[in-house]
Amino acid sequence: MSHWCHSQKGKMATFRKRSGKWQVLIRKKFAKPLTKTFVLKEDAEKYAREIESKIDQGSLTTYDEASKTTLRDLLERYRLEITAKKKGASVEDCKIKLLQRLPIAECHLLRVTPTKIAKLRDSLSETRKPGSVNKYLSFISNCWNIARKEWGIGLPENPVSLIYKPKVKDRRDRILTPEEYKRLLDACGQSKLYCMRGMVIFAYMTGARFGEILKLNKKDVDFVSRVATLRDTKNGEDRKIPLMLEAIKVLKEQPITTTGMYFQDISHDRFQHYWNRVRRDAQIENFRFHDLRACAISNFFLPPYNFNIPMVAKISGHKTWKELERYERNKVHTIVKQFEVIKK
């Protein structure tokens, strides 16, 4: 039986001879000790001296902090320092909080393995679509990379990068029929969230995003020229949009908040609660609030508007016309659906 023997006093390396070879073991509060095997003891001692020197100089990655930090802790720091500075922070904040409630969040970082990430992926896939699953995985991946590169936390390779990601199908193409839109408005009229109906109409008529609608201030609306200015949009720029008569009517009906906003300041999480109930009452499946933007953009290509791609890009804020081609292609499908409703 071979026994480990220590090197010089104060050093971290221990050695033992086994099966004719020399093994070196170096401990310094690593989650996993460093070990390596050599034919010659001299080589083992040289390796130990090099590693110990790097540790003393602080140039060797150690896992002290990672061994004490849970994934929940890391996600919380990311949520407070990174997410909070993003546009649409409320949506990402909600998703990160969900991750923090899952069992994997209890794991210390060195125990967050590709196998556990794969199990998380499979669990999320039971109730969520591939795009949504990948979004959750990306939060963990981004956290991991920032922790390694910017926060100085010694971590092994990103476990998310080592697993298979669900394949995302083509972009959503969910457009409301006129009949569905009517049912949705009827259901909104019964919602306990008083601004729900107004927000739905405004999104449907303008293509504005959820966050853009909530930030709309009375000083940003010119009823004379029928133009609203959306501030600090997704691409970082202000955007002017034309106001159709229905959109103007909605704004004039809204009680202005003390901060001058047209719509009630509500978290995405809370709004989603009311939205899901409205959607169920209207018996509309597979439809998100954000899909109202797709409805508006698709409608801009149809009568009575008949806008061309450059005009629609100006309203929607898309940087490239190519991004709008899928909405323009919806033209034929939407017309067919409208004919079907008329026939009934």
Q: Mean pLDDT over residues 307-332, rounded? A: 78
CATH 1.10.443.10 fits 178-343, yes or no: yes
Is residue 251 a contact partner of residue 241, using CB atoms and an 8 Å limit? Answer: no
pLDDT at residue 87 in the model: 72
Reply yes or no on whether the pLDDT at 327 is more than 60.
yes
pLDDT tens digits along 104-144: 999 999 999 999 999 999 999 998 889 889 999 999 999 99
Q: What is the predicted pLDDT for the residue at 339?
A: 45
Asked whether the predicted pLDDT for residue 29 surpasses 60, the reply is no
Q: C-alpha distances in angstroms, 299 versus 113, 187, 308?
A: 47, 22, 11
Instruction: Check whether 340 has a pLDDT greater than 80.
Output: no
pLDDT in tens, 278-289: 999 999 998 999
Predicted TM-score (pTM) of the model is 0.59
Rounded to an integer, the average pLDDT of 41-51 is 87
Look up tokens 């169920």; give the residue. Answer: 280
pLDDT digits (tens, 9 = 90+) for 80-91: 999 988 876 778
pLDDT for the residue 281: 96
Which residue from 194, 217, 218, 213 is spatially nearest to 202, judged by alpha carbons?
Answer: 213
**Three-class DSSP labels, the chain:** CCCCEECCCCCCEEEEEECCEEEEEECCCCCCCEEEEECCHHHHHHHHHHHHHHHHHCCCCCCHHHHHCEHHHHHHHHHHHCHHHCCCHHHHHHHHHHHHCCHHHHCEHHHCCHHHHHHHHHHHHCCCCHHHHHHHHHHHHHHHHHHHHCCCCCCCCCHHHHCCCCCCCCCCCCCCCHHHHHHHHHHHCCCCCCCHHHHHHHHHHHCCCHHHHHCCEHHHEECCCCEEEECCCCCCCCEEEECCHHHHHHHHHCCCCCCCECCCCCCHHHHHHHHHHHHHHCCCCCCCCCHHHHHHHHHHCCCCCCCCHHHHHHHHCCCCHHHHHHHHHHHHHHHHHHHHHHHC
Band of residue 342 on the pLDDT scale cut at 50, 70, 90: very low
Q: What is the model's pLDDT at position 83?
A: 92
Architecture of domain 67-162: Orthogonal Bundle (1.10)
Per-range mean pLDDT, top range of 7-21, 154-168, 327-341? 154-168
